[in-house]
């Protein structure tokens, strides 16, 4: 089912006589059938409010919400055929795994045989096979989250909504759950909207990421798109690390720190240009002829080394040396040279 959000805004009255809060501001977004779209942004950007409007827990102040062809603005949450999975698992402590997952099916009045057959499939899909008779207190946090997930998908909703579902879990478990949610969502093909403020989570789980700020959409695109071609500084900074270099663009290339780099330049980009260079787009070496710099900080992270280097022509830069075990490590205080890989440079839109 396609979800369409058309010119939706949410205005909250002020509590203290101050200005009203425009939590969501004229948002347009279409989520295709079977697509998983993540709303990503800092605290207060309006992502939870937007999700709650989709679920039906908040009414939009302006605009329309469509589930397929059906306008759902005035449809109660329990009649929307959308289920919400959130971080406080909301599972019943006195019911075992089976009864927790079957809860909604029983409310709907399904026959025991139908409940059993639906349950069997879902319990195995979420990796809870053999745990049906356990109580929530006998489950790990990750397993409890799986119960919540199973309880949502067993209802076969047209829309799955996730509100920071993994924020209670430790880092390793979170990574595993991302993979599992992604696999399950693709297997079932349920249109999904996922809210998080964690960019790594958004990148790893989504078909498309929507970056929000101050109630508005800053940019929407595939994870690769947003990383390689952020529109502005906010998006570039929010999605991974970024160096910003001042340059001059003309037809055929850009000049950075006095050196010329060939690039495809659109007419609108000609003139003063702000260029994004991701940390792995910069290369450190002892070869002459590049930008001379001094290493200020070296941080070994296993799969990569992060350097902070100070370059008279370019400023302070963050550099990632990938596969560090295969190369030479540089120490703070060392003089080295930095070169740029032109194919990875990207020009921001003029503000």
4 vs 213, beta carbon nearer ligand ATP: 213
**12 vs 300, beta carbon nearer ligand ATP:** 12
The 196-235 contact track toward ligand ATP, x by CB under 6 A, reads -x--------------------------------------
Q: Which is nearer to ligand ATP, 49 or 191 (CB)?
A: 49
Interacting span for ligand ATP (CB under 6 A) from 43-51, 81-89, 177-185, 275-283: 43-51
Q: Is 343 left (phi over 0), alpha (psi -120 to 50) or beta?
A: alpha
Helix residue ranges per DSSP H, the chain: 47-55, 97-107, 112-125, 141-153, 171-188, 199-205, 223-228, 233-238
Residues 47-106 that bind ligand ATP (CB under 6 A): 47-49
Q: Indicate the residue among 51 and 184 with the shorter CB distance to ligand ATP.
A: 51
Q: How many residues bind ligand ATP (CB under 6 A)?
A: 12
Q: Which residues pair with 66 in a beta bridge?
A: 4, 71
Closest CB 201 distance from ligand ATP, rounded Å: 13
Write down the least CB distance from residue 10 to ligand ATP, Å.
8
Note whether 18 binds ligand ATP by CB under 6 A.
no
Cβ neighbours, 10 Å, residue 255? 14
Instruction: Map tokens 């001379």 to a residue.
Output: 292
Least distance CB 314 / ligand ATP (angstroms) = 34
Least distance in angstroms from the C-beta of 254 to ligand ATP? 35
Q: Of the listed pieces 36-44, 174-182, 229-237, 296-304, which binds ligand ATP according to CB under 6 A?
A: 36-44
CA distance 285 to 108: 66
Smallest gap from Cβ 12 to ligand ATP, in A, equals 3
23 binds ligand ATP (CB under 6 A): yes
* Smallest separation (angstroms) from ligand ATP to the CB of 232: 19
Work out whether 9 is an interface residue with ligand ATP (CB under 6 A): no
Smallest gap, in angstroms, from Cβ of residue 313 to ligand ATP? 39
Q: Which of 34, 44, 136, 240 binds ligand ATP (CB under 6 A)?
A: 44
As measured in angstroms, the least distance from the Cβ of 24 to ligand ATP is 7
Q: Does 43 bind ligand ATP (CB under 6 A)?
A: yes
Which residues, at least 6 apart from 68, have a Cβ–Cβ distance to it below 8 Å? 1, 2, 158
In the structure encoding, which two tokens stand for residue 236, read together? 């570039």
DSSP state of 220: E
Bridge-based pairing of strands 70-71 and 82-86 is unpaired
169-178 contacts: CB < 8 A, separation 24 or more? 169/141, 169/142, 169/145, 170/141, 173/140, 173/141, 173/142, 174/201, 175/204, 176/142, 177/142, 177/145, 177/146, 178/204, 178/205
- Taking residue 343's Cβ as centre, other Cβ atoms within 10 Å add up to 9
Residue numbers at the binding site for ligand ATP (CB under 6 A): 12, 21, 23, 41, 43-49, 197
């Amino acid at each position: 089912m396609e979800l369409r959000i058309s010119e939706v805004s949410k205005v909250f009255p002020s509590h203290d006589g101050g200005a009203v809060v425009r939590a969501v501001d004229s948002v347009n977004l279409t989520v295709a059938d079977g697509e998983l779209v993540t709303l990503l942004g800092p605290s207060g950007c309006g992502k939870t409010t937007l999700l709650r409007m989709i679920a039906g827990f908040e009414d939009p102040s302006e605009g329309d919400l469509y589930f397929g062809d059906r306008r759902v603005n005035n449809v109660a949450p329990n009649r929307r055929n959308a289920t919400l999975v959130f971080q406080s698992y909301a599972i019943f402590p006195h019911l075992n795994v089976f009864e927790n997952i079957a809860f909604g099916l029983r409310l709907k009045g399904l026959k025991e045989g139908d409940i059993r057959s639906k349950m069997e499939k879902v319990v195995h899909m979420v990796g809870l096979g053999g745990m049906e008779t356990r109580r929530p207190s006998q489950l790990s946090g990750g397993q409890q989250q799986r119960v919540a997930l199973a309880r949502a998908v067993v209802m076969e909703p047209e829309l799955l909504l996730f509100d920071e579902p993994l924020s209670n879990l430790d880092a390793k478990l979170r990574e595993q759950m991302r993979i599992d949610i992604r696999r399950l969502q693709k297997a079932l093909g349920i249109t999904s909207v996922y809210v998080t403020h964690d960019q790594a989570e958004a990148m790893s789980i989504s078909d498309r990421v929507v970056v929000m700020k101050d109630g508005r959409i800053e940019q929407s695109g595939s994870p690769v798109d947003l990383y390689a071609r952020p529109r502005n500084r906010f998006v570039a900074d929010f999605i991974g690390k970024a160096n910003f270099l001042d340059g001059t663009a003309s037809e055929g290339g850009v000049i950075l720190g006095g050196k010329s780099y060939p690039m495809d330049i659109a007419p609108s980009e000609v003139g003063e240009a702000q260029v994004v260079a991701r940390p792995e787009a910069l290369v450190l070496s002892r070869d002459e002829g590049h930008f001379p710099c001094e290493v200020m900080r070296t941080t070994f992270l296993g799969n990569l080394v992060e350097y902070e280097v100070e370059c008279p022509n370019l400023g302070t830069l963050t550099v990632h040396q990938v596969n560090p075990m295969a190369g030479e490590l540089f120490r703070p205080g060392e003089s080295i040279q930095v070169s740029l890989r032109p194919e990875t440079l990207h020009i921001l839109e003029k503000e």
